[in-house]
Every structure is written in structure tokens, then in C-alpha cells.
Amino acid sequence: MSKLIFAVWGDGLASALRDPALHERLAAAGVRRLQVNVEDEHVAGAMRIDHLDDPIAGFVTVWDADAEPVAEVLRTVAATVHAYAVDERRRLDPPEDWDGSRADALANVAVLRRPDELDRAEWLRIWMVDHTAVGIRTQATFGYLQNIVLEPLTPGAPRIDGIVEELFPSAAVTDIHAFYGSGGDDAELGRRIDVLMASVARIGADRQIDLVPTSRYLYELG
């Protein structure tokens, strides 16, 4: 099943991307399943990192659809839209209800870029094999989806090599112990952070990364 992720920029997208009228137009463009990840009031105050000068506002995911018709519809509400074809790896399956309700979670979306010192094969090996276990072991994630970017599908799209979605308990928005699953133990929290950051540096995610805190919404359109 082919998967496309659209990075979107603009104002008012927290409501615009959830508008039933937009979903009707997306359905007409061939979208049957829709995932919306957007920064909104539920994740206000969560840690955010911006590598791009123009911060990403959210992400729209569709399956088995053509990129350009979907992008045209999204451009009716977003100032900028860029599409990427991806290869999904579901490392931890989160609970999923396709009824448009908000997932009870902080859904962090990390945009990764391969560092110049690593070739693609080695970078993917470190990310997919070495880092995955560390990320799951040191954080309170209950959903972990990795998307290897195969190619950009819109002219002028910023370089992106990987897109990771990690779901944390909602308390993780403001509670670092809830984020890392350290149970209020400061020493354990410090240990987990040190182990994770060392692994993050190996894949270059200590630099050139965008980290967008989002709310996650899933829809069946047809």
C-alpha cells in the first residue's frame, strides 16, 4: 500500500485540516483514509525544534492516492504544501480509531536528514536497527512509526530523509518524567536522556532536525 506524507505550512490549520468540507474535497481527489497531525491547543507547551526557517505546521498522510490532486486540495487551506513518498515501518502499533476523534496522546513528528558523513545504507542501518531499540527502551512511547522517504513529489520540496511519528502519554506535554517513562526518578531520567542522546547523535538527529508536537486524528472518507 503506497503511503504519501504531505508537510504543510500556514495559519489556522488546526481547524482547517479537520474541516468536513475539506475532507469531502479530498475524498473526491481519491483519498479514502486520512491522517492529520497538527499542532493545536492540546499540545501547547510541548518541546519543539525547528531546523527550517519557516516552521512546519503539520502533516497530512494518505494512502493509495495521487500526490498532485491531493496537494491541490490541501493548497486551498495551506500556504505551502510538499509531498513525499515514504516506506512505512510500524515498530510499535498505536491504538487507532478511524472516527475523527483525537488520539489521547502527544504525537511527536520528527523530520530527519541524513548527515553527510554517512552513506544512505549505513544511515538506514543505524537508524532502523541500532537506534530503534534505544528509542523505544528509553522513552514512554506507545506508538512508533518510521517512514523512510523514497522521494519528494512536489517541486522545491525541502530535503527530508526520514519522518518518525512517536506517540507519548498526554501528560508528556508538560511532564518530562511522563515523556521518558522514568517514574519520577531523576537519576533514571538522566540515564535515559544520556543513552538516547548518544544514539540520536549517531543518526545525525542532534542537528538538522525538525520536531513538531502534534495532535493525531484519523478519518475514514469512503
| Cα 74 from Cα 17, distance rounded (Å) | 8
| Cα 142 from Cα 39, distance rounded (Å) | 19
| pLDDT, tens only, 45-75 | 999 999 999 999 999 999 999 999 999 999 9
CATH of the domain at 169: 3.30.70.100
Q: How big, in percent rounded to 5, are the helix, strand and coil portions of the chain? A: 30, 30, 35
- Band the pLDDT of 222: cuts 50, 70, 90: confident
| Cα 185 from Cα 129, distance rounded (Å) | 28
| Residue span of the structural domain in which 130 resides | 3-220
Name the helix (H) or strand (E) containing 86: strand 80-92
- The pTM assigned to this predicted structure is 0.96
| pLDDT, tens only, 82-124 | 999 999 999 999 999 999 999 999 999 999 999 999 999 999 9
For the chain, the domain total comes to 1
| pLDDT, tens only, 113-135 | 999 999 999 999 999 999 999 99
